[in-house]
Amino acid sequence: MPPFSFTIDARCADTWARAGTIATAHGVIETPIFMPVGTQATVKSVSSEELREAGATIILANTYHLMLRPGSQLISDFGGLHAFMHWDGPILTDSGGFQVFSLGHLRKLSEEGAAFKSHLDGSAHLLTPESVMRIEAELGADIILPLDICAAYPCTSTEAREGMERTHRWAERALAARDSYRTEQALFGIVQGAFEPELRQYSAQVIGNMPFAGVAVGGLSVGEPKAVLWEMLRHVTPALPEDKPRHLLGVGSPEDFVTGVSLGMDMFDCALPTRVARHGGLFTRHGRVNITAARFRVERGPIEVECDCYTCRNYSVAYVHHLARTEEQLYYRLGSIHNIRYMLRLASEVRAAIRAGTFAAFRDKFLADYTPAPEAVREEQREKWKMARRANKA
């Protein structure tokens, strides 16, 4: 059996949604799929066994954080990420590029690569398309991503074009370099092009034609309005090859997952479901609730009646509310498990609807029932995360 394959099991007649199966050496992934994000080789507060029980079939780990601490060589010495974190299912690692671009003044870009100073100790590092292939080979994930340039929102047309062209040149260098490492790893290309429809379409064609195992769409969900994000996908998807899996990088709220599937995406990763859980935001059929709200104080039922997660099967809302109010450790685990299970159950339902030929109706009903967090709440949430991040660094 080849280490990586993708087959399409069903297509939606009314939208661009498809249901597929990805086979890897560590197991099968049925798509569309949500990937919990394990930045530091751990999905925060949740063990690998709990992830498995929640239905996770693939997780994402961040190259940038792991190369700095504990170091990719150390992880390699422990048999790679699967053995190190005791997760025997498929893993995807990103290239580290996105985090490096977020470092702002701490990084410097050239044709060779991205030079940056560690946010931990200020030490100097250089990420190149070649060194990223070596680091990801040491981490040993099943699916890996090449170094790319993620343009800021907003950016000029020149910045958009130059970033995209360099991303394409780096894609070729990554393809050439990976042959000297672990060729059983599935390398995905990354489509860029910022917020220029013609560039997005062109990048989708160029990356789609390179010999990558799959295609990731990067540089979206970086602060632009949602309408712009979907508009870009409307230009990208038709230009992509049909027979490769498509990963929409960094997108994964419930409503964005459903909309992204309808625009032809198969794989989604996002830290949002676990991050909002840690801040009290739990997903329900009707939208996100704040579990610390007073109305939950004496409620006896589960967070959501139809939820089959470990938390909902065993604990009342009142108890989870109490744990969240008192900032108990157990809350972070129970809240995260609920949101992860919610996303994975949603993915199964979406997949079943595509196979049954009822996805368009499913999408419309889901989006009608689900009230997204208002923009003001999201803004407040972003500020809280930024403050928490600053506190972590201090």
The residues annotated as belonging to the active site are 94, 269
Quick one: 49 or 383, whose CB is closer to Zn ion?
49
Which one of residues 338, 345, 351, 363 is an interface residue with Zn ion (CB under 5 A)? 338
How wide is the angle at C-alpha 258 spanned by C-alphas 279 and 42, nearest 5°?
45
Which of 128, 311 has the CB closer to Zn ion?
311
* Segment contacting Zn ion by CB under 5 A, of 106-114, 128-136, 216-224, 338-346: 338-346
Report which DSSP code applies to 265. -
Cβ nearer to Zn ion, comparing 333 with 338: 338
CB of 323 to Zn ion, least distance (A): 14
Task: Give the residue from 111, 109, 110, 119 showing the smallest Cα distance to 67.
Answer: 119
**What letter would DSSP give residue 288?**
E
d(CA 275, CA 283): 12
Residue 209 burial class via C-beta count within 10 angstroms: exposed 0-12, middle 13-18, buried 19 and up: exposed
Decide: 223 and 41 in contact? Cβ < 8 Å.
no
Stretch that binds Zn ion, among 127-135, 245-253, 293-301, 337-345 (CB under 5 A): 337-345
Residue 312 engages Zn ion in binding (rule: CB under 5 A): yes
Give 171 or 277: the residue with its C-beta nearer to Zn ion.
277
CB of 308 to Zn ion, least distance (A): 7
> Which residue's CB is nearer to Zn ion, number 41 or number 334?
334
Instruction: Scan residues 280-309 and list those touching Zn ion (CB under 5 A).
Output: 307, 309
Q: Within its chain, how far is the Cα of 12 from the centroid? A: 23
Cβ 325 to Zn ion shortest distance, Å: 19
Give the interface segment with Zn ion, choosing from 67-75, 144-152, 269-277, 310-318 (CB under 5 A): 310-318
Number of H helices, E strands in the chain: 16, 16
- Residues in contact with Zn ion, counted by CB under 5 A, come to a total of 5
CB of 173 to Zn ion, least distance (A): 45
Contact (CB, 8 A) for 262 and 233 = no
112: DSSP letter: S
Binding to Zn ion (CB under 5 A) within 166-195 occurs at none
Closest separation in Å from C-beta 337 to Zn ion: 7
d(CA 152, CA 169): 19
In whole angstroms, what is the distance from residue 17 CA to residue 21 CA?
Answer: 14
Residues that bind Zn ion (CB under 5 A): 307, 309, 311-312, 338
